[in-house]
Structure 1
């Protein structure tokens, strides 16, 4: 074993916190209004994990990493929103959708890292 992994296992890729602008993620109607969807983008330098919340015809994106423990927020696929807030399913932290600020739970004063996304001609794209 090398580094906790069997010899010959593929190396783990770096987990990235930014993406280049202009990556098309899919049509706006891919996400129901008030819901969210996770995205994993494979790039040469590593993988980016983020999620997008839809609010009407607008979207807001965040890096999928809780500021409390560094874990992805959703334990179940695309379960990022609960009761009108972004929720970390691991430790119960809740975050404001518009600002990413922690509104309750174990990370007061912390915020989610924004992921710039927008809607262009009905398609969600990185900005």
Structure 2
């Protein structure tokens, strides 16, 4: 490991940045409140990487890519939130984001935003929108 931290994972497969609507992801109660969960969807030959945050009875989805360096936010599966669940934290460089807006409030991309991934809850199931 270098002084800058672990190297990002290699781009070993093609990525897409959108998903079709109405794809069921999980039951809403599968994600703690506050909590987050990663999703990887295969779209044709490519893959979409996103995550869903649940906080205060609301859900928000984001593309799993930090606006600062383009890396996935979590180094460890589903570890997107700070220990107290109040913020999304980029494991690579410490950027902190508001969970329901995606706005970066601290770190190297302060003032930026996570890219939204449209999701919705219908009948207790979280789906792509």
User: Which band: TM-score by shorter chain?
Assistant: 0.7 to 0.9
**TM-score when scaled to structure 1?**
0.87
CA distance in 1, matches of 2:17, 2:106: 24
Counterpart of 1:35? 35
* More displaced stretch, 86-95 vs 48-57: 48-57
Q: Which runs of 5+ in 1 are unaligned?
A: 1-11
Counterpart of 2:5? none
Aligned length: 116
Q: Considering only aligned residues, what root-mean-square deviation do their CA atoms show, in Å?
A: 1.1
Structure 2 counterpart SS, 1:16: coil
Q: Which has the larger radius of gyration?
A: 1
Counterpart of 1:55? 55
Counterpart of 1:73? 73
Does 2:107 correspond to 1:105?
Answer: yes
> 1:14 deviation in Å?
1.9
**Runs ≥4 residues deviating over 3 A:** none
Structure 1 counterpart SS, 2:113: coil
CA distance in 1, matches of 2:92, 2:126: 28
